[in-house]
Amino acid sequence: MARITLDNLAHSYLPAPKGEADYALKQMDHVWEDGGAYALLGPSGCGKSTLLNIISGLLIPSQGRVLFGDQDVTRAPTAARNIAQVFQFPVVYDTMTVRENLAFPLRNRGMDAGYVTRRVGEIAEMIGMADVLDRKARGLTADAKQKISLGRGMVREDVNAILFDEPLTVIDPHMKFELRTQLKALHRQFAHTMIYVTHDQTEALTFADKVVVMYDGRVVQMGTPQELFDTPEHTFVGYFIGSPGMNILDAEVSGAMARVKGAEVPLGLGYDALTGRVQIGVRPEFCSLTSGAGLPIRVTRVEDVGRHRIVRGETEAGAVNITLPEGMAVEAGADRVVFAPERVNVYADDWRVRPARGVA
């Protein structure tokens, strides 16, 4: 297991990049702790695979270094990095049995037969395949084959890191939940450094201790699920995490007051003078519908989504979504929305601004 350091890293697929726009991965410095479970989350094209390929050794970055522990592996081939990888689609040997597939990475390294049997048994239990160990992989469903790939990725205990690239794409939804839970349990047990690439926020938030949110070639935030929810550092994080995402409205901010089109919005803390495009962001969970004072809103739709309901509305400042807690009805005549002041974040040119007074 190893700490992974990305030192002044950047990558362009062009031979002579001119500006930032030419970089698929913009300059970044990060340390990913030894034993951490990280999810790399972001929309298609944001640079997740590029970063993963640099860590795994499939790609040499055009700038900067990758360290595993203290060792510079920037130019080391994949085979020399001592990592395990699980890809989007199954990579199994059809002519081998499930047992032989799972044992392969261990036998390959000359592990003792007793250990191989014990370890394969543990992993087979975990992926729910203990009763089909002697079946040939050929003829198994794509789902089952991908479980073997996951098992193979996790069978070695001595790897520097395990990299997962959208590994649950072909797994059916029920099994997805189960495997995610198993992966998490396995992480607790063995504390491998794990990096899990996904564009699915549920997958990222349930798997990871730290979620690394990428947008347009940058890591815009690296934080716990709670941090991403409470204090999105970039408007993209606010918008991308949560269902629905954060409400973001253009505003003018003066001290502890924001003015949006149609109302004044009290803030929990004060702010220094701001420049650039100023916005406030507040999650639908911290908005409430009232008939008293507040930002005038016209409710356009109420959606039932199981445990709670989502009210969708239009204000002069833009669209606002409100999450109604379980059992709460939409009050007749309610035509204002108010925001919990201490839950309102302030942004300048998309980046969160720390309050001038009090805690950040």
Output the CA torsion sign for 225, 314, 318, 199.
positive
The residue type of 104 is: F
Site for ligand ATP in 114-173 (CB under 6 A): none
Strand order of the β-sheet with 210-215 is 83-86, 161-165, 194-198, 37-41, 210-215, 218-223
**Which residue from 10, 24, 116, 258 is in contact with ligand ATP, where contact means CB under 6 A?**
24
Q: Is 50 in the site for ligand ATP (CB under 6 A)?
A: yes
Among 143, 207, 137, 209, CA closest to 170: 143
For residues 222 and 208, what is the distance between their CA atoms, to the nearest angstrom? 11
Q: Which stretch binds ligand ATP (CB under 6 A): 46-54, 82-90, 304-312, 317-325?
A: 46-54
Which segment (48-56, 108-116, 264-272, 346-354) binds ligand ATP by CB under 6 A? 48-56
Query: Is 48 among the residues that bind ligand ATP (CB under 6 A)?
Result: yes
Taking CB under 6 A as the rule, does residue 41 contact ligand ATP? Answer: no
Strand pairing report for 194-198 and 247-250: unpaired
Interface pick for ligand ATP out of 28, 39, 49, 233 (rule CB under 6 A) = 49
The stretch among 37-45, 170-178, 200-208, 310-318 that binds ligand ATP (CB under 6 A) is: 37-45
Q: Which run of H or of E encompasses 114? A: helix 113-126
Q: How far is the CB of 41 from ligand ATP (least distance, A)?
A: 10
Q: Which of the stretches 38-46, 113-121, 135-143, 302-310 binds ligand ATP when contact is defined by CB under 6 A?
A: 38-46
The 10 Å Cβ neighbour count of residue 253 is: 24
In the complex, minimum distance from the CB of residue 78 to ligand ATP, in angstroms, rounded to a whole number: 16
Q: Is 46 in the site for ligand ATP (CB under 6 A)?
A: yes
| Cβ at position 166, least distance to ligand ATP in Å | 7
Q: Which stretch binds ligand ATP (CB under 6 A): 47-55, 61-69, 91-99, 244-252?
A: 47-55
Residue 232 binds ligand ATP (CB under 6 A): no
Nearer to ligand ATP, 166 or 280 (CB): 166
Q: Give the x/- contact pattern for ligand ATP in 188-227, rule: CB under 6 A.
A: -----------x----------------------------
Cβ 249 vs Cβ 317: under 8 Å? yes
- Decide whether 40 or 338 has the Cβ nearer to ligand ATP: 40
Residue 309 CB contacts under 8 Å (≥ 6 apart), including other chains: 302, 303, 323, 324, 328, 330
The answer to whether the CB of 152 falls within 8 A of the CB of 90 is no
252, 278 in Cβ contact below 8 A?
yes
Least Å from the CB of residue 25 to ligand ATP: 7
What lies within 8 Å, CB to CB, of 359 at 6+ separation is: 269
Decide whether 23 or 339 has the Cβ nearer to ligand ATP: 23
| Distance (Å, whole) CA 156 – CA 109 | 10
Binding site for ligand ATP (CB under 6 A): 13, 24, 42, 44-50, 199
